[in-house]
Structure 1
Amino acid sequence: MRIRVVDAFAERAFTGNPAGVCVLDAGPWPDDSWMQSVAAEMNHAETAFVRPSERADADWDLRWFTPTLEERLCGHATLATTHALAADGKVSGKVAFASLSGILTATVADDGITLDFPVNRPIATPAPDGLEAALQAEPLETYVTGELRDLLVVVRDEATVRAIDPDYDALAGIIERGNLRGVVVTAQGSEYDFVSRFFAPSSGIPEDPVTGSAHTSLAPYWSERLGRDELTGYQASARGGIVRVVPSGDRVYLKGNAITVLDGELFV
C-alpha cells in the first residue's frame, strides 16, 4: 500500500507541516485500530486516510488521525491529501471530501490549493487559572473557538509569540480541565498580518508546525481587528508555514502550497 509524506503550507521542502497520506481503494474503511497504529508509526501531527466516496455529495471520504486519536478537522492534512490526489491525476479543479466536519471542498490551481472550511468564531472567555504560568507569557485576551474548542490567546506582540516556551504538563492540565483541543497563541505580525503558534500536548502534539484548522478562528478574529478580509498568517513554529486566509460568512478559505518529500510502500 502506497503512503506519502507531504509538507503542507510549505514553500519549500522541510518547512510547513508534514502529514502522512494513505490513498485507499474503494470499499470499507480498514479497522480503526489499524489506522491509529499507522498514524502512531508515522508519528506526524496527522496522517490522512482517503477513499473514493459512494456519497452523491462527495468525491472522496477523508479521515485524520494524530498519533493518539482521531481528529474532527485538520487543514494541513486535507491540503496534503489534495496535493497527493492531484499529483496522481485523480483530482483537478474542485474536489469534495466527506468528513466528520461535514463536506469540505478543495480547489486545485497553479498558485496553490484553497480549502473551504467551516468558520469557528472566537467567543470571549476568562483566562483559565494557571495559563500565564503555563505559557510564561501574559494573556491579553482569551477566547474559545466554536466547535473546535481551541483556546485562542492574544499576547502583546510577535516577539512574545516567538519566545513562548510552555510548560507542557501544565498546559495539558488546562486543556483537559477545559475540555479543549489545544491552545493557539497569536499577535499582530510585522512581515505578516498575524503570527501564531499551536500547542496540543493532550492530543500527542506538543507543538503543531502549521495548523490549518486553527486559522478558521484566527481569520475572523484578525479580519475584524485589522478591517480587511484577505490576510496572510505565519505560524511561527521551528518549521514555519504561511496560510493565506479569507473569511466569508460561515466559511473560511485557507490557501497554501504543498510538496511531497517521501513516497513509499506500506507493508501490511
Structure 2
Amino acid sequence: MVQSLNTKALLTLASVARRPSLLVPHVAVSNISELNYTALKERCGIKAVIFDKDNTLTAPYGMSLHEDARSGLSHAQSVFGSSNVAIMSNSAGTLDDPEYKDAAEIEDKLGIAVIRHTEKKPGGLEEVMDHFEVDDAAELCMVGDRLLTDIVFGNLHGMLTVHTLPLCKGKDNQNDNTVANIIRKVENTGLYSNWFVGRKLLASRMEHKYWKGEDYCSLKISLADPTNLRQSDSASDNGDKDDTGSRNDSDDGNNQTERR
C-alpha cells in the first residue's frame, strides 16, 4: 500500500512547536507486552486501548502478529474485552486502503477491530470516540511507536499515551516507509538522548486526568519471569509499584530514560 501525504501531521507541527510536551508520552516501554493492562483499567480510569499497527503489533505492512506483541495483545483483550481494543493505523482503515480491504484482512487474521477514519493521526478523534462510544478521551489509552502521530494524537486530546520501540530493525524493517523510518529515528534521538533538549522535554510531560505518574501506579511489568502477567495483576490489586528501570535501544542510537 502506498501512503499519501499526512497533511494533518504537517498542520500539527505548529502546535508541537508551541507545545513540545505534546511529543512526550506518559509511559515508555520496549513493546506492548511490557504494559500492565490490569493497572490501566483498574487504577487509571482507562476503558479502551488503541494500538498503532505497523511496528507496534506487526512488521511494517505485515498481516501477522509479531511474536513480541502476542502476549501483550492477548492480555489487553482479556482485561478490556475484544470490543474495547482496536487498531488505528495511518495505512489500513484510511482512504489509502481501497474498500478497506487491508483493514478487513487484518481483522480476520489478527482478531482485532480496525477503526476506519478519514483523517490520519494526529487527526481522527471523532471516529475513535464513536467506535468506543465514550465521551471522555481521557478514558482512552493510545499505544504506538511514532511520537509525531501516535503520541501527539493522544496528548492533544487528553488520552494516556504509551510509546514503544519499533518491533523490527535492520532487514526485518525493510518494508517500512522510508520517510517514516527516518523521522522516527530523529524523534527518538531528540527525546531520549542525554542532550539538554531531551532532558527538558521529558521533564515537561503532560499530566493525565486519572494517572498521576509511576509513583502513583506503575504501568510497566518485567518480562523476565514467565508468570509476570499474573504477578502484575496481583500487584495492581494490592497497589504495589513496579520499577523496571530505563529503556535502551542501541540500534537507533538512543539512550532512553525512564519518565519521572
TM bin (shorter chain): under 0.3
User: Which structure shows the bigger proportion of residues in helix conformation?
Assistant: 2
TM-score, length of structure 1 as denominator length? 0.26
User: Which structure shows the bigger proportion of residues in strand conformation?
Assistant: 1
- More contact order relative to length (CA 8 Å, sep ≥ 6): 2
TM-score, length of structure 2 as denominator length? 0.26
